[in-house]
Structure 1
Amino acid sequence: MNTSGSTNFFALLLAGTVLFSCTNQGPADKDIPFDSLSNEEKRLPENALKGITVHEELVATLFASEPMITNPTNIDIDHRGRVWVCEAFNYRPAITGNETRPAGDRIVILEDTNGDGKADKSTVFYQDPELNAPLGIWVMGNQAIVSQSPYVWLLTDTDGDDVADKKEILFQGIDGEQHDHGMHAFVFGPDGKFYFNFGNSGGQIKDRNGEIIKDQSGNPITTAHYKEGLVFRSNPDFSEMEVLGQNFRNNYEVAVDSYGTMWQSDNDDDGNQGVRINFVMEYGNYGYRDEMTGAGWRANRTNKEKEIPLQHWHLNDPGVVPNLLQTGAGSPTGMTIYEGELLPEVFHGQMIHTDAGPNVVRAYPVQKDGAGYRAEIVNLMVGDKDQWFRPSDVCVAPDGSLMVADWYDPGVGGHQVGDLNRGRIFRLAPPKSPYKTPRFDFSSIEGAAKALENPNLSVRYQAWKKLSAAGADAEGVLAKMYLSHENPRIQARALWLLAKTPGIGPQYIEQALKHENPDLRIVGLRAARQTKRDLEPILTKLAADADPHVRREAAIALRNQHFPTAPKVWASLAELHDGQDRWYLEALGIGADGQWDRFYAAWLDKTEDPLADASTRDIVWRSRTGQAIPQLARLASEESVPLERRLRYFRAFDFNPDAAKKSRALIDMLEGPSVKQESTENQNEVKKLVLTHMDPAFLTSSPTAQAALTTVLDETYGTESYLEMVQRFERRDENPRLLAMALEQSDNSLGRNAASTLLRQNGAGMIRQVFTGSDDKKKLNLLLALRSIGSRESIALIEAVTFDSSLPLSVRREAASAIGGSYSGEDRVLALLKEGRFPENLLPSAVTGVSRAWRKSVRAEANAYLDTGADEANSLPPLNDLLAQSGNTENGMNVFRTNCAVCHQVGDMGMDFGPKLTEIGSKLSKEAQYLSILHPDAGISFGYEGYVIEMKDGSTLGGIIASQTETDIDLKLPGGNSMAIKTADILKMSQMESSMMPSGLEKAMSTEELVDLVEYLMSLKRKS
C-alpha cells in the first residue's frame, strides 16, 4: 500500500477540534493496558482496540479479524449490510520475498448472521491465481467491479450462491500491475454514473477489446494527452468516458456527494510532508508535474513556493487548482462521504478518510469559502499507541454506521508487508447502536424511493436502478421528495433522477436552476450539461448569479462551448472575480481553455483598465493568449512594485503559447527604459528573469540581451543560477570559469555540476591540462568533482590519471578510488580488477572506492580481490530480541549522520537523495524500521526507484529520476548531487529491481549502534 508523505506548516491542524477519550472501549478498560502487553499480546485480535483512541462520542467494535480475513486493501458494504473485502496476501512477493497463496487472492463476503455486531460467516466470492492484490471493489447486487491493474473486472454471481461464476474484462492495459499507484475503486454517483481514478502509474486505459479509450473530446487517454493520476466518469454501461481531473500523484479513491461534487486525497513523494485533500473541479490540473514541461516539483522555477509541501504541487503556477487542505506526512487511502444521521452532526455530509501512514481515520468538515472551501480536521480513530493500525478504507453501512478496514502491519508504503496473516474490520457507531440492517423493498417505486434516502451507496444503486427504469411513473414520489424533503442532499438525489427522465427532465432542470438553494441550482446546471441541453440561455443567466459557487460551475460549463455569446458570458463572469478567490480564477481558466483568444478579447472590450487592481491583474496572469503579453510585460516591469510580487508575472510567460511575441516583449523590457529605472539591487535580477523566460533562439537578435547575459553571468558566477544560464544558452566561452568553479567547489554539488557541464561543452582538454600540470591540490580537487559524474568521458579521464606512473602515488590512489564513484564507474572497477590492471599499491584504493556501492554484488566481488571477508554476515540477534532492546537516541543520531545522511535527510541534516525521514517515527513502527534497514528491497518508495541509463556514448549512469520532460532528465545521484541529461543522448533506460539503499548496511555497525539508530528514527515523529 504505497501511498506516501507532511509539514510543521500544517501541524496545528492535526490537533483537531474535538476531545478524545480512551474510556469508550467497554470491558477492555479492565484489562492490561496496551503498553504493558508483550509484543505478541499486542497483536492479538482481542487486544485490537487497546492501542487505538476513538472519538469520545463513538464506540469502536471489532467486526472481523484474522484468520477470517487478512491484508484488506479495500472494502464495500452491500444492501444487506455485508462487508466485501479485497485481500492482498500476494502483495509484491517479488520485492518483499514473502510467501504467496498459490490459489490467488480473495474477495470475501463477511456477514453477521446472529445480530451481535460481529461477522460469523465468511464466504469466498472469488479467488483466482490471476487475482493479485486488488485495490478496489464496488458491489452492486450480485455483481462486483474489482480494480487490479492492468485490469478492471466485472464479477457476477449468476446463480445466487454468493460465488462469482462469471468474470468479464471491463478495462485493461492500465500500467502499474501489482502497484499501488494504478487503478483504484469505482463508486456510484448520484447522477447514475460511475466515478473512478488511477494514480500516476496508470498511464493509459483500454477497453475490453484492447483499444485505447478516447475521452469526451476524442483524445486517446494516454500520457500523450494527460499527466499523472487521473479521475474518470462513465455511464453505467461504461460508455462516454470522461477525464475529470489530472496531474495527481496517487489519488487513491474518489468520493462523490449527492450534489455530484468530487473529493479525494493525494499523497506526496514520500517524506515531503505534503499529503493533500482536494475538491476536484472538473477538468482541473492539480499540479504534481509542471503543466508545460512535465518537470518534477524539485526543478528550479521562478516564483517557487517557499515551503516544500507547497512546492510539491506547483501552487504558485497559473493553471493549478488550489488544495483544500494539506495534512502533512501520510499514506492516504480510502475515502467516503458520510450522508447519514447516526453519527454525530459534525460528520454529517463530510468526508471520512483513512490515512494508513499516521494510523488515523479522519473527517474533514468543510465550509464554503468564496467559490471554494476551507476545511478542518476531526479525528475518529487514532492508533496513537498501536502503530500497526493501518486503516486502508472506510465505508458507510445501511444503518449509518461506519466500517473501517485495517491492513494491520508494522509498515505501510514502499510495497512493504511485514505480516501476511493479519487484518481487521472495525465498526464505528455511537454507544448503544447495535448493527441492524434495515429491510428494503426495491420492487416498488415507493420502496425504492425510501431506499434512495439511505446513506449506503449499494442501497442507493439498487434504488436508482428501479426508479430510473420506472421513468415517468416515478415522477410523483420523486417530485414530492425533491420539493419537500427537509434534507437538501436527498432532494438532490431525487432531482438527478427527475432531470434524467425522458419527457419531464427539462422542466425539473428549469425549476432547479431557479431554486433558492445554490447547491440545487448547481445540480440543475450539472444535469443540464449531462443531458446535453442548450447551455447558452442557462449560462447567460447564471453568469449573474449571486452565489460564487454557482458562477464557478457556470465558468467550468463554458469549456468547449462555442455558441456565439460564449465570450461575452465568460467576460461577465470574469468581471465578478474579486482578485482574492483562486478557486474562481481557476474555474475561469478551465472554462476558457481552447478559446482564450475569443474570451480574452471579449473581456478586454468590457474592461476599462486591465491592470487596475488585483482582480484584473489575476485575469492577465491566468490567461493563455498572446493578446495578454503587453499587459503581462507591463506587470512584470512595474518597478514601483517590489520584485518579489512581480515574480508571478515572469513565471506566467512560461505558460503563454505565443513564443515569438513573449520573447520579443521580454527583449523590449531590456532594451526599453524599465530595467534602467529599477533599483541597482534589482537590475541584474530582472535581467536574469528576462533571460530565464526568453527563448534562447532570440538571444542573437538582441545585442542588449547578449550584454545582459554577460552581466548576469558575471554577477552569478559560482552559483546554481550561473550554471543554469550557461546550460540554457550553451556558452562554451564560459568553460574556463566552469573549470575554476569545479576546482573551487569540488566538495559540493555546484562544483560537480560545473565539471559535468564543462565536459558536455567539450572541455575535456582543459581538464587534461590540470592533470598534466604541477599543482597536485588541483588534481585532487578535480578528481573529487569528477568522481560521481559517471559519463564515459569522465571515467576515462580518471582512469588515465590512475595509470599515469609519472604522477604522485597520492594522486593516483585518489584517482583509483574515484573510478568507482558512479554506477558506470563501479562496473569499470570490476572490469579492471578482472583484468588485473591495478598494481598492488592501488588495489586497496580501487576496492575502497566501491565499498559503499548500493549493489551488494559489486561490493562482494570487489572485496574478493582483497580477500578481507569484509562483506561476510555479522551476527545479529533475532528481530524479537532487537525489538526488546532500548537504544540511545543521541548516539543513534551520530550513527545516522555517519551511515545514512549521505542519502537521507532529517530536517536540514543529510543529503536529499532518498525519502526524507524527518517524521519517519510517525509512519513506521519499530518493527518496520528494522525491516527497512535489514531488507531495503522490500520497501522501495514510489518515486525513489533507481534507474540504469545507458548513454549513446557508451557510458552507464545510475540514480533516481527527480524530474523528466520530453527533452531533459534530472538524475539524482547518491550523495545528493544531480546531473542534467538530454533524452536525445540516451540509448536505453531501465528500472533497477533492487533498492538503491545498500543492502547489508547493518554490517557496517555493531548491534548496539543498530539499536541506537532505530531508537533515533523512532524519535522522529510529527510535532503536534
Structure 2
Amino acid sequence: MKKPVKLILLPMLTAGFFFFYSCNQPVIIPDFDTLTDEQRHLPEFALSGISITEGLEAKLFASEPTITNPTNIDIDHKGRVWVLEAYNYRPEITGNEIKPEGDRIVILEDTNGDGVQDKSTVFYQGPEINAPLGIWVMGNQAIVSQSPYVWMLTDTDGDDKADKKEIIFQGISGEQHDHGMHSFVFGPDGKFYFNFGNSGAQLRDKNNQVIKDIHGLEINTDNFKQGLVFRSNTDFTNIEVLGQNFRNNYEVAVDSYGTLWQSDNDDDGNKGVRINYVMEFGNYGYKDEMTNASWSANRTNKEKEIPHQHWHLNDPGVVPNLLQTGAGSPTGILVYEGRLLPEVFWDQMIHADAGPNVVRAYPVKKDGAGYTAEMVNIMVGDKNQWFRPSDVCIAPDGSLFVADWYDPGVGGHQVGDLNRGRIFRLAPPRTRYKIPNYNLNKVKGTLEALQNPNLSWRYQAWMALQGFGAQAEKELAEMFASHENPRMRARAFWVLAKMEGKGQKYVDLAIADSNPDIQIAGLRAARQLDLDLIPIITKLSENNDPQVRREAAIALRFHPSPEAPGLWAKLAVQHDGEDRWYLEALGIGAHSQWDTYFAAWKDAIVEADLNKKANQDIIWRARTGNSIPMLASLAVGQDEPLEDRLRYFRAFDFNPDVEGKSKALINMLNNKEADQQEINRLVIAHLDPQYTKRSPVAMAALKELIAESEGKQEFVDLVSKFSLNEYNTKLLDLAIQNSGNNLGRNAASTLMQLGGKNLIVGKLQSKEDKVVIDMMASLRGIGSNESIALLENVAFDANRSINVRREAASAMGASYSGEERVLDLLREEKFPDNLKASAVNGLSRAWRRTVRQEAATYLENGEDSNLPPMNDLLAMSGMVENGKSVFKNSCAICHQVGEEGMDFGPKLTEIGSKLSKEAQYIAIIHPDAGISFGYEGQILKTKDGNTYGGIISSRTETDLELKMPGGTSVNLKTSDIASIEQMENSMMPAGLERSMTAQEMVDLVEYLMSLKKISSEAK
C-alpha cells in the first residue's frame, strides 16, 4: 500500500509555504499549520492539509461562490462537470432558512484546458429540486434522483437549460432522506443500474403505481428488505432487484464484465462500514432475514465483534463482505478502467468516504468464488478535516474528479456549513485537461469512444453502435476477438450480444473463451437474453474456475427445467467447505426450489458424510424440511464443541418446515447429554412459540429456563417471545431494578406490550420518589404514545413533588414522538414556569437541531442576565483553555474534573460525552431543570435548633452524613434530627451566569464539551 505524501513537486520551502509547479506555473500551497482558522476555510487554501498519493497532483477545479454543498457529480462526454447542490438540505437539522427558489443543477466547464472551471451554467433550478443526491447525464438529458422522486430533465433546444421535466419514479422514502434513491449509472450491457437505501421502501412509476419486478413481485417492503440494488432497461422497464438488505448503499458501480460493487454504512458509531461485491440476488444481512430484527438483537451464534454482528455474517443466507473499512460515511464509488492514473488504480474501485475525510481505492484479487481487497489512499484530509468527499467521477481524459461537500460534520445530523463546496481534479503532474472528441458517425470513432473511461462517452458509443447494427459487427467482432485488454473485449461483446439476432452467436463464443471473466459475461448475457441456459450451464458446471461455477449456480435460480436440480447438485458437490461465496451462490440458485435441489444433492453424494465440512455447509445453508434430520444430528453431535455447533441451531430459524423442525428440536430435550442444559436453552430459543405451548415437554423446559434466567436480558426475551404475561410482576421488578440501562427499558417495554400498564401506573403512584423516578427512567425513550402519556400525567400532577414532576417533564422528550409532544405543549404554553426548563432540557439532546433550537427559545436568561439568547450563544466560538480557567474560578468549588475540584456535585470528568452543548447551557443558566438523582438538596433541622443544608451522602439507622458545598461534611445522629425536607430548587446557585461575561460562558461550555470519555482505542 502506498503511503499518502504531501502534494509537493520540485519543493522549495519559504516562510511556511510549499511551492510546486503545475502546467509550468508555480502554485503556492501553504502549510496548514501556518494558517489562521479563517484562512483554512478559504478556497485559495483548499488543498492545504490534504495529502495526495504519490504520482498524482490535485487542483481546485471549482469552489464557492460558484457552487455550494455538492452532493453528487457527473461528467458528460464534453468533459463538463454537472453538480447537484443541496443548500436546502435538512433544514430541521441545520436550522438554515430554505431558499424558496430551490436547489440547483449547475454545469461547470473548463474552456481553456487549464484544469479550472471558467464557465458555469444553471441547468435547472426549482422549488421541487430539494437536496437531490444523484445525477446521471446522457447527452441533453439528466436523470436526477431526489427522494421521493426520480426526475428526467431534458434540454430540448440546446441552450444547456432544462425545459422539460418528467417523473420517472416516485414514492421512494420521504423528502430529503439520505437513505433513499441515489444515482443511476450505465452498464456495459446497455442497462441502467441504480439503488436506494434502507428507507426507500417502495418503487412507484410515474402514475404512482407500485412497480413489479421481472418475476411479478411488487417492489415494496413485503417482498424485499431494506436497501436495494436495481437493473432496468434504459426505458425503465424490466426492473430487477439484484441485491437486498443493505443499509444506506449510496451508489453502485459496474465494471465491463457486468460485476457490481457497492459500499454500505453501518448504524453510526459501530465501525462496520463495508465494501461489497454484489452477488446477484444476494441478501446482505443488515436486518435479520426472518424477523427483520436489528443486528443488536440477541441471536444464537452471534458474531464476536460488533462490525461483524452488524451484518449478520454468521447467518446462513448472508453474502460475505468484501472488506470492512471501519467508521465512516461512504458516498460515491466507481470502477476506474482508464490508464491515466497510476497503475495501482487500473481496473479498481475508487471510493469517497466523507466520514474519515478520504478518497480510496480498493484493489481486489480473486479468492475462490469471491475476492479479497486492500485499501490504498488517494486523497486524505489528514489535517483539513472539513474535506468531506461526497462523490468521485472519471473525466473523458481519464482524470479523477472529487466533489467535496466541505463541512465540519458529515451530512445528516452533523451538517454545519452549506455555504461552501469544492470540486478537485486529480491527474499526473502537469497534465492539462484535454477532452478527446470522437466521430460517432463512423464505426471506428464510435469504437474509440466505447473504450473511453468516461461513462457518458460509452453511453453515446453504445447507442450509436446499436444504431449501426450489422455495419459495426465486423469491427466489433475484431475488437472482441483480439483486443489486448480483456475489459475492452467485454465491452465489444456486450454490444454484439445485444444486437438483434446476434445474441446466441456471441454468447457461444464467450462461453468457449479461455478467459473466465469473458465466460461469466457470456452467461450473464445469456440470462438477460433469455437463451436456453441448460446447455451453457452443463458446460460451465465442469469449469475449473470457481467464479464461473458461481455464476452457473446463480443462473439456476427459478429455472424450471427438470435438468436444473441435477446441475445444481453437480455444482454443489464441488463446494470445498471453505468458500462462503460459493456456498451462498448455491443458496441463491436453489431459492424456492430447495426441496428438489437438495434431494438431487443427496442422491449425488449417496451417503452424506457428516464429518465432511463441505456437506455440513450444504446442510446448514439448506432451506428444506429434507435437511432437518441431518441438521439435528449435527446440532447434538458430540464430536465438536458446542460452540462450533451453534451454527446448526441458528439454521433452524431459517428452515420453512415449522412442524418438522419443531419435532426435531423437542426430541433434543432432556437427552441427558453432557451439555444438555445448554442444549435445552438453545432448543427453546429456536422453537416456534405456538408449537411450544402445545408441547408439555417444551413448556416444562421453557419454565425451567425462565427460572434460571431471571434478572437477565434472556428472561425478557423469552417472556416476550412466548407472550407469557404471568411474568409481568417480575418484568416490573426488573424495570425498577435496572432503571438506568437498556435491560430496564426493555423490561418496561415488554411489560407494556403484555398488558401490564396497570402495574406500571401503580409504581408511578408510589409515595417514594425514588421508586417513581426509577420507573420513569425505564419508560424514558420507549417512545410509544402510551408511555409518553404516562410520563405526561406525572409531570402535570400537582400533588407530586417538584423533583418528580421535573424528571417526568424531562423524560417525556427522550424519543422522537416525545419531542413532538413536548414541543406542542411548549407552543401551547401548557408547562408551568417551574417545569419549563426541565421540558426544554429534555429536548436539548434531540437529534434534530431545529427541535433543540425551538425548545431553547422558550427559556429566558433572566431579567438581569448579561447573556444573549441561547441561539446566539450556540453560534459563538469558545476557547477551551479560557474555559478551564472559568471552571476553576466558578465551578470547582462544587464539581470535580478528574482529581481537580471539590467532590460535592456531580462529577464532570466525562460531561462532554453525556450532554449536548444546549444541555450544558441549560444546566448552568437553569440549574433546576435537571437535578441529578442522588444530588437533591435536603434541609435538616436538629432538635437543638440547628439547620443544615446539603446532600445526604450516607444514611443508616443511627447515623447520617451530610455533604455540604465546598466539600465539607457533617456527621449527625439520626436521633438528634427533628426534620428532613427536600429542597425544591437545585443547590447549584441560580444566577451563576451573571458572574460571567458572555464569552466566559461560551469558553466554559467549550471546555465542558471537551471533557469526553476516552475510548479504549484512544487509550
Which interval holds the TM-score relative to the shorter structure?
0.7 to 0.9
92-101 vs 622-631, which moves further: 92-101
Choose the corresponding residue for 2:673, options 668, 674, 677. Answer: 677
| Deviation of the 1:804 alpha carbon | 12
Q: 2:60 aligns with which of 45, 59, 62?
A: 62
Deviation (angstroms), 1:173:
2.4
Find out whether 1:588 has 2:606 as its counterpart: no
Partners of 1:587 and 1:248 in 2: how far apart?
18
Alignment match of 2:168 (pick from 158, 170, 178): 170
Q: Aligned match of 2:519 in 518, 521, 532?
A: 521
- Is 1:304 aligned to residue 302 of structure 2? yes
2:330 counterpart letter in structure 1 = P
Decide whether aligned partners of structure 1 residues 743 and 125 sit closer, same or farther in structure 2, where only a CA change above 3 A counts: closer
- 1:20 corresponds to 2:20: no
Per the alignment, residue 325 of structure 2 pairs with 327
Q: Distance in 1 between matches of 2:109 and 2:792?
A: 69
Partner of 2:697: 704
Q: What is the CA–CA distance in structure 2 between the aligned matches of 1:243 and 1:467, rounded to whole Å?
A: 28
1:562 aligns with 2:560: yes
Letter in 1 for 2:647: R
Flag structure 1 segments of 5+ consecutive residues without an equivalent. Answer: 1-15, 899-907, 911-915, 921-928, 936-1000
| Cα distance per residue 1:135-184 (max 9 Å; x no partner) | 11112222222222222222222222222222222222222322222211
Could you tell me whether the CA contact under 8 Å between 1:259 and 1:522 is conserved in 2?
Answer: yes
1:730 shift after superposition: 3.0
Give the TM-score normalised by structure 2. 0.81
Letter of the aligned partner of 1:686 in structure 2?
A: I
Q: What whole-Å deviation, never above 9, does each CA across 1:389-429 have from its counterpart, x for those lacking one?
A: 11111111111111111112222221554333322111111
Q: Do the aligned partners of 1:863 and 1:869 also contact (CA within 8 Å) in 2?
A: no
**Larger RCO (CA under 8 A, 6+ residues apart):** 1
The change in CA–CA distance for 1:148 and 1:487 in structure 2 (over 3 A counts) is same
Map of 2:1007 onto structure 1: 1012
SS of the equivalent of 1:207 reads coil
Q: Note the alpha carbon deviations across 1:682-738, whole angstroms, 9 max, x for none.
A: x33221211111112122433322221122122211111112222222334434544
Q: Distance in 1 between matches of 2:124 and 2:398?
A: 27
How far apart, CA to CA, are the structure 2 residues paired with 1:135 and 1:774?
55
Q: Which residue does the alignment assign to 1:542?
A: 540
Give the one of 346, 361, 373 matched to 1:348: 346
Q: Separation in 2 of the partners of 1:539 and 1:467?
A: 30
- Do the aligned partners of 1:17 and 1:377 also contact (CA within 8 Å) in 2? no
Deviation at 1:637, TM superposition (A): 1.3
Aligned sequence identity (%): 57
Change (3 A) 1:353 1:1013: farther
Deviation for aligned residue 1:246:
1.0
Residue 118 (structure 1) shift: 1.4
Distance change (3 Å), C-alpha of 1:46 and 1:540: same
**Aligned counterpart, 2:315:** 317
Residue 878 of structure 2: aligned partner: 882
Q: C-alpha deviations, 1:769-807, integer Å up to 9, x for none?
A: 8899999987886676667777758976997999899xx
Look up the match of 1:994: none
Report 1:230-269 matches (<5 A). Answer: 230-269=228-267
Q: Is the 8 A contact 1:795 1:819 kept in 2?
A: no
Which residue number corresponds to residue 659 of structure 2? 660
Contact 1:24 1:58 in 2 (8 A): no
**C-alpha distance in structure 1 between counterparts of 2:787 and 2:457, whole Å:** 67
Deviation at 1:355, TM superposition (A): 0.9
Structure-1 residue corresponding to 2:639: 640
Amino acid in the other structure paired with 2:678: E
Aligned AA (1:288): Y
Instruction: Please state if 1:81 is matched with 2:79.
Output: yes
1:822 positional shift: 3.8
> d(CA) in 2 for partners of 1:149 and 1:849?
34
Secondary structure at the counterpart of residue 1006 of structure 2? helix
SS of 1:549's partner is helix
Post-superposition offset of 1:368: 0.5
Instruction: State the AA in 1 paired with 2:8.
Output: T
* Aligned pair partner of 2:842 in 849, 852, 856: 852
Deviates more, 1:177-186 or 1:486-495: 177-186
CA, structure 1 residues 220+804, in 2 after alignment: closer, same or farther (shift >3 Å)? closer
What amino acid maps onto 1:104 in structure 2? G
Give the letter aligned to residue 118 of structure 2: D
- Picking from 704, 716, 723, the partner of 2:716 is 723
- Given the superposition, is the C-alpha separation of residues 37 and 601 from structure 1 closer, same or farther in structure 2, using an over 3 Å criterion? same
For residue 693 of structure 1, what is the aligned residue in structure 2?
Answer: 686
CA RMSD of aligned residues (A): 4.2
| CA shift digits 1:160-211 (9 cap, x unpaired) | 2222222222222222322222211111111111111111222212222332
Q: How far did residue 29 of structure 1 move?
A: 0.8
**C-alpha distance in 2, partners of 1:1023/1:743?**
35
Asked if the contact 1:61–1:426 (Cα under 8 Å) also holds between the matched residues in 2, the reply is yes
Do residues 120 (structure 1) and 118 (structure 2) align? yes
Specify whether residues 833 and 432 from structure 1 end up closer, same or farther in structure 2 by C-alpha distance, changes over 3 A only. Answer: closer
The answer to whether structure 1 residue 392 and structure 2 residue 390 are counterparts is yes
Show the counterpart of 1:189: 187
CA distance in 2, matches of 1:195, 1:285: 18
1:626 is matched with: 625
Assess if the C-alpha contact under 8 Å between 1:66 and 1:423 holds in 2: yes
Q: SS of 2:653's equivalent?
A: helix
| Shift of residue 131, structure 1, vs aligned partner | 1.7
SS in 1 for 2:669: helix
How much has 1:533 moved relative to structure 2? 0.7
Larger Rg: 2
TM-score (norm 1): 0.80
Deviations 1:450-497 (A, max 9, x none): 221111111111111111221222121111111111100001101111
Deviates more, 1:575-584 or 1:757-766: 757-766
Contact 2:185/2:193 (<8 A) preserved: yes
* Native 8 Å contact 1:783 1:798 kept in 2: no
* 1:49 alignment partner, one of 43, 47, 50: 47
Report the CA distance between 1:534 and its aligned residue.
0.1
Amino acid at match of 2:628: I
- Over 3 Å counting, the alpha-carbon distance change for 1:288 and 1:25 in structure 2 is farther
Q: Deviations over 1:262-307 (max 9, x none)?
A: 1111111122211111111111111111111112212222112122
Query: Per-residue displacement from partner, 1:59-104 (whole Å, max 9, x unpaired)?
Result: 1111122222222111111222121211222223354232344333
> Tell me, what secondary structure is at the counterpart of 2:842?
coil
| Aligned residue runs from structure 1 range 373-388, under 5 A | 373-388=371-386
**Equivalent residue number for residue 714 of structure 1:** 707
CA distance in 1, matches of 2:716, 2:877: 52
In the TM superposition, residue 875 of structure 1 has moved relative to its aligned partner by: 9.6
Q: Counterparts in 2 of 1:921-1000, with a 5 A limit?
A: none
The superposition leaves residues 495-534 of structure 1 with CA deviations (integer Å, 9 ceiling, x where unpaired) of 1112222333322211111111100110111111111110
Change beyond 3 A, Cα 1:63–1:771? closer
Match of 2:102 in 1: 104
**Deviation by residue 1:226-263 (Cα, 9 ceiling, x = unmatched):** 11111111112222111111111111111100000011
| 8 A Cα contact 2:856 2:871, kept in partner | no
Closer, same or farther: CA 186–733 of 1 in aligned 2, 3 Å: closer
SS of corresponding position for 1:579:
coil
Of 462, 467, 470, which aligns to 1:469?
467
- Cα 1:499–1:846, aligned 2, differ >3 Å: closer, same or farther? closer
Tell me the equivalent position of 1:961.
none
* Contact map agreement 2:51 2:381 (CA 8 A) in 1: yes
Query: 1:66 touches 1:424 (CA, 8 Å); kept in 2?
Result: yes
SS in 2 for 1:176: coil
